[in-house]
Structure 1
Amino acid sequence: MALIDTVMATVHLVVGGLWTGSVLFFGLAVLPTARAGNIRATAFESIISRLTMGSRIAALLMFVTGGHLAGTRYTVGSLFGSGRGHLVLAMLVLWLVLTALVEIGRSRAKDGLVEKKVRTPAENAAPFYLGAALVAVLLLLDAGLLLN
């Protein structure tokens, strides 16, 4: 059983780190490049597609591994009645918000990308992707608090 817990914790941490890192990279490096018009529409569309697919896979993996970890480390009482439990619940909410923001950002960018434009779709999606980057930072801070 300890091996399963270790594997679940490792997958959870690695996937969480990759997911938050990819959202931050997109929001802080790719999105400004697209807003300036310095990337081809096909490349921007491809990056958005990969980010969205990665986000979907990560959300599923985080749900499975996080559910296992919460189920083995917490009771209902400790989740809702302790500081650590509140951090876990906050993390769950933040993961859901992150997933939603990436999906909405993709949706906002999609229409303009069909027309092979870059600046307008990037501008339309920017608030959602920048919000996702902020949520990614909050998730990393939450994870850091849980390590103590």
Structure 2
Amino acid sequence: MTTGFDVAMTIHTLFAALWTGGTLVVSGAVVPAARRELLPTDGLTLIARRFWYLTVASVLFLLFSGGHLAGTLYTAETLQTTGRGHRILAMVGLWLVLAVTLFFGFRRLTGSQSGGAATAATKARPWFLGASGVSIALLVLAGLL
């Protein structure tokens, strides 16, 4: 029989994988293609908009499913005094950093497109590279749990 814990864990894992994987794809394939003028402005805007929807959904689902999991598995004391709790808190911090970094990356990617897709992608590149680093750190921490 499936429990609320199992459902929360499945949702949490699914959206964490989609979000971090999507971040790596946008950073490693979409932004470089746009910088090389292989992706038109309309295509870049469409991809960015779709990835933004995934980002918003992931933030919300990870917030609620992660809150449920943390409330089920941990107390405030165990989060603060155990190695596993410290890793969970580090993941929460990195989750916030990823959301903020992607927000600014999207602003650069879809903001002023007067210079075209290549210019927008060049401005967004540092933000998406940073988001990729944060995504990898989140995956490593998840693997350590």
Task: Give the TM-score normalised by the residue count of structure 2.
Answer: 0.96
Taking the aligned partners of 2:63 and 2:2, their CA distance within structure 1 comes to 20
Task: Report the AA paired with residue 139 of structure 1.
Answer: L
What are the Cα deviations for residues 40-93 of structure 1, in whole angstroms up to 9, with x where unaligned? 100001111111121011000000000000001001000011100000001111
Residues of 2 paired with 1:41 and 1:139: CA distance?
31
Secondary structure in 2 matching 1:118? helix
Aligned residue number for residue 77 of structure 1: 77
Q: Is the 8 A contact 1:112 1:120 kept in 2?
A: no
Q: How many angstroms does 1:2 deviate by? A: 6.3
Partner of 1:19: 19
**Structure 1 Cα separation of the partners of residues 26 and 42 of structure 2:** 16
| 2:124 paired residue number | 125
The runs of at least 4 consecutive aligned structure 1 residues that moved more than 3 Å come to: none
- Quick check: 1:112–1:118 contact (8 Å CA) kept in 2? no
Secondary structure of the structure 2 residue equivalent to 1:103: helix
Q: Using the TM superposition, give the Cα deviation of residue 107 of structure 1 relative to its aligned residue in structure 2, in angstroms.
A: 0.8
Counterpart residue number, 1:44: 44
Q: Is the 8 A contact 2:24 2:135 kept in 1?
A: yes
Unaligned runs of 5+ in 2: none
Equivalenced residue count is: 145
Match in the other structure for 2:6: 6
- Alignment check: 8 A CA contact 1:98 1:132 kept: yes
- d(CA) in 2 for partners of 1:133 and 1:112? 23
* TM-score, length basis structure 1: 0.94
- 1:110, distance to aligned residue in structure 2 (A): 2.3
Q: Which residue of 1 aligns with 2:143?
A: 144
Identity fraction in percent: 38
C-alpha distance in structure 2 between counterparts of 1:95 and 1:12, whole Å = 12
In the TM superposition, what whole-angstrom CA distance separates every residue of 1:7-42 from its partner, at most 9, and x where no partner exists? 000110011011100000110111110111110100
Deviation of the 1:108 alpha carbon: 1.4
SS of the residue 1:112 aligns to: coil
Tell me, in whole angstroms, the C-alpha distance in 2 between the residues paired with 1:67 and 1:20: 19
Equivalent residue letter for 1:59: V
